[in-house]
Amino acid sequence: MGMRPAQLSLLLLWVSAAGAEVLVQPDFDCKKFSGLWYVVFMVSDCKVFLENKDHLLMSTRDVNATTKGDLNVHIELPWENGCNQMDVQYLKVGSEGHFRVPALGYLDVRVADSDYSSFAVVYIYKELQGALSTMVQLFSRTQGATLRALSAFQDFYPTVDLFKDFQIECLNEHL
- Nearest Cα to 137, choosing from 110, 116, 115? 110
Residues 6+ apart with CB under 8 A from 131: 46, 47
Alpha carbon 90 to chain centroid, angstroms: 11
What is the pTM assigned to this prediction? 0.83
pLDDT in tens, 74-97: 999 887 777 889 999 999 998 999
Q: Which residue has the higher pLDDT, 163 or 2?
A: 163
Q: Which residue has the higher pLDDT, 17 or 130?
A: 130
Lowest mean pLDDT among 19-23, 52-56, 154-158: 19-23
Question: Where is 140: in which H helix or E strand?
Answer: strand 131-140
Domain 30-166: which CATH number of 2.30.110.10, 2.40.128.20, 3.40.50.2000, 2.102.10.10 = 2.40.128.20
Query: Can you tell me the distance from the alpha carbon of 80 to that of 174, in angstroms, rounded to the nearest whole number?
Result: 8
H-helix segments, the chain: 5-20, 30-33, 47-51, 147-156
**What is the predicted pLDDT for the residue at 22?**
85
Helix, strand, coil percent content, the chain, rounded in steps of 5: 25, 45, 30
Q: Tell how many helices (H) and how many strands (E) occur in the chain.
A: 4, 9
> Can you give the residue ranges of every domain in the chain?
30-166
Q: Please give the share of the chain, as a percent, with pLDDT higher than 70.
A: 83
Length of the chain: 175
Q: Which residue has the higher pLDDT, 152 or 170?
A: 152
pLDDT in tens, 103-162: 999 999 999 999 999 999 999 999 988 899 999 999 999 998 999 999 999 999 999 998
